Amino acid sequence: MKVKGIKKQTTSLSGKSFLLLSVAIICISTLTLYHKSVKNDFLDLDDMTIIVRNYNFLKDFSNAGQAFKQGAFQVQGEKDTLTSYYRPVMILSFMADAHISPKKSKYPVPSPFIEANIFYHIVACVLLLLLLLELKIPPLPSLLLSLIFAGHPLINQAVAWIPGRNDSLLAIFILSSFIFLLRYLKNGKNWLLFFHVFFFLLALFTKENALMLAPLVFIYLRFVTKEHPTLKTNSILGICYVFCIILWFLMRRMALTTNEDRSTLTDAAKTMLSNSPFYIQYISKSLLPFNLSVMTTTADTNYIIGVLAVILLLGGLVLSKNKNTKFAIFGVFWFLFFLSPSLFSGFSGLEHRAYLPLIGMIFAVSEFDIIKTADFRNSSNQSRIGFTILISIFLLFFYLSYNRLPIFQNRYTFDRSAMVTSPHALLPCVYLAAHYDEEAQYDNAIGAYKEAMKRDSTYDVSYLNMAGDYLRMNNYKEAENILQLDIHRNPNNSVAVFNLGLVVFQYEHNDSEGVSLWKKSIFIDSAFARPYKVISQYYQALGDSSNAILYRNFYMKRSAR
Highest mean pLDDT among 8-22, 77-91, 166-180, 223-237: 166-180
pLDDT band at 103 (very low <50, low <70, confident <90, very high): confident
Helix (H) or strand (E) holding 360: helix 355-365
User: In this model, does residue 34 exceed pLDDT 80?
Assistant: yes
Q: How far apart are CA 444 and CA 421, in angstroms?
A: 19
Greater model confidence, 103 or 406: 406
Q: How far apart are CA 425 and CA 21, in angstroms?
A: 44
Among residues 330, 309, 72, the alpha carbon closest in space to that of 218 is found at: 330
User: In this model, does residue 12 exceed pLDDT 70?
Assistant: no
314: Cβ contacts below 8 Å, ≥ 6 apart? none
**pLDDT digit string, tens, across residues 398-418:** 999 999 999 999 999 999 999
How much is the pLDDT for 8? 42
User: In this model, does residue 13 exceed pLDDT 90?
Assistant: no
**pLDDT digit string, tens, across residues 461-515:** 999 999 999 999 999 999 999 999 999 999 999 999 999 999 999 888 889 999 9
Q: Of 284-288, 412-416, 554-558, which gets the smallest average pLDDT?
A: 554-558
Q: How far apart are CA 400 and CA 394, in angstroms?
A: 10
Q: Of 52-66, 99-113, 160-174, 331-345, which gets the smallest average pLDDT?
A: 99-113
Adjacent-strand bridge partners of 104 = 107
